Amino acid sequence: MKTYAMKAGEIERKWYVVDATGKTLGRLATQIARILRGKHKPGFTPYLDNGDYVIVINADKIQVTGRKLDTKYYYRYSGHLGGLKSVVLREQLKKHPDRVIVSAVRGMLPKNRLGRAMIKKLKVYAGDKHPHQAQQPEPLEL
């Protein structure tokens, strides 16, 4: 029996809504990355972007374990001398809670043009409102 490989025209995408309230950051990110990659589908093809769209709401209510709030740093570099900026997780959650989840999920996706296409299907919002009602997203319990 031959293994079936999906073609780009056969991909059907769904929209899912995930509520991040009380969820652990890493465990939530692994499940989101799995859906974005398409590994939950029986027709998974590693060289195609056949994953689904994921909307994450309440990103500001995410949980972390241990002492990560004070010891985990996020870095960004402007490209200039002395342009390395660092922000601790506690401050990042106050100012930009969406970037915390996007950064965690991005690290779990392929590091190539396929991964860059997959991360565009992730929409993260700090509150419980999102502008994607027209896509009729299904609630997903993780």
Query: Where do the domains of the chain lie, and which CATH numbers do they carry?
Result: 13-64+96-139 (3.90.1180.10)
108-139 per-position pLDDT tens digit: 999 999 999 999 999 999 999 999 999 999 99
Percent of the chain scored above 90 by pLDDT?
A: 94
CB atoms within 10 A of CB 84: 11
User: What is d(CA 97, CA 85) in angstroms, rounded to the nearest whole number?
Assistant: 17
Strands (E), 1-142: 15-19, 53-57, 73-77, 84-88, 122-124, 138-139
Residues 43-49, mean pLDDT to the nearest whole number: 93
Half-sphere exposure of residue 90, counting CA atoms within 13 Å on the CB side? 6
Entry pTM: 0.94
Local structure of residue 100 (DSSP, 8 states)? H
**What's the pLDDT band for 83 if we cut at 50, 70, 90?**
very high
Q: Which residue do the tokens 């056949």 mark? A: 50
